[in-house]
């Protein structure tokens, strides 16, 4: 029994007593069938009638004032509404937006490339500065080593003349004196 509802089902949907649904059936002369167990069975269209009756009563109308013909007027299909924008216009706008998005994407990629190029140039300049500094430090270190080597050659006296050995020994002794 597809598409059919029992009295209890309709009363549950509407939040009323099942006897109320039976009373509305008699009062508004709504046809109903009975299933093999003797239960009243209603179609979905009839369930919509009960929904309409319930709404009318809740809005304050009396049962005498309710006309089921009003429901038929409400159920008539509405005239087709034309879309606010035609399909061609919609597609044209869609293509324009897609083109605009592509332009933005290209500009974004170009800007990213410019930023990366600028950073590379900046890093290159920093590397060049560091290379120059390293060369200057290397030259300075070479000069210092040469000066120290010359100074050592001047201070070295042969051991036989009493030169070199004693100075080192005195320095060593000065460390342990109090």
Q: What are the pLDDT digits (tens) for 19-58?
A: 999 998 898 888 888 888 888 898 888 888 888 888 888 8
| pLDDT score, position 128 | 96
Query: Average pLDDT over the chain, rounded to whole?
Result: 82
| pLDDT score, position 143 | 93
| pLDDT score, position 79 | 45
The tokens for 37 are 């167990």
The tokens for 29 are 């002369």
| pLDDT score, position 102 | 97
* DSSP symbols for 10-51: HHHHHTS-HHHHHHHHHHTT---EE-TTS-EEEEHHHHHHHH
Q: Which of 34-48, 116-130, 164-178 has the highest mean pLDDT?
A: 116-130
pLDDT range class, residue 120, cuts 50, 70, 90: very high
Helix 18-27 / helix 7-14 crossing angle, nearest 10 deg: 100
User: What are the domain boundaries of the chain?
Assistant: 4-75, 96-153
Q: What are the pLDDT digits (tens) for 85-110?
A: 788 888 999 999 999 999 999 999 99
The tokens for 86 are 């035609």
User: In which order are the strands placed within the sheet that holds 4-6?
Assistant: 4-6, 40-43, 33-34
**What dihedral do alpha carbons 133, 136, 138, 144 form, nearest 10°?**
-140
CA atoms within 13 A on the CB side of 135: 6
Q: CATH code for 4-75? A: 1.10.1660.10
């Amino acid at each position: 029994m597809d598409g059919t509802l029992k009295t209890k089902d309709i009363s549950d949907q509407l939040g009323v007593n099942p006897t109320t649904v039976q009373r509305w059936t008699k009062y508004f002369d709504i046809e109903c069938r009975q299933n093999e167990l003797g239960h009243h069975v209603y179609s979905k269209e009839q369930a919509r009638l009960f929904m309409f009756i319930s709404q009318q009563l809740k809005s304050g109308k009396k049962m005498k004032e309710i006309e089921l013909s009003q429901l038929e007027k409400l159920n008539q299909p509405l005239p087709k509404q034309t879309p606010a924008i035609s399909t061609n216009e919609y597609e044209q706008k869609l293509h324009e937006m897609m083109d605009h998005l592509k332009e933005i994407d290209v500009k974004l990629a170009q800007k990213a490339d410019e930023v990366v190029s600028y950073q590379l140039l900046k890093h290159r300049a920093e590397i060049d500065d560091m290379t120059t500094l390293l060369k200057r430090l290397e030259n300075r270190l070479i000069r210092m080593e040469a000066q120290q080597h010359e100074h050592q050659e001047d201070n070295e006296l042969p051991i036989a003349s009493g030169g070199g050995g004693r100075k080192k020994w005195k320095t060593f002794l000065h460390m342990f004196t109090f």
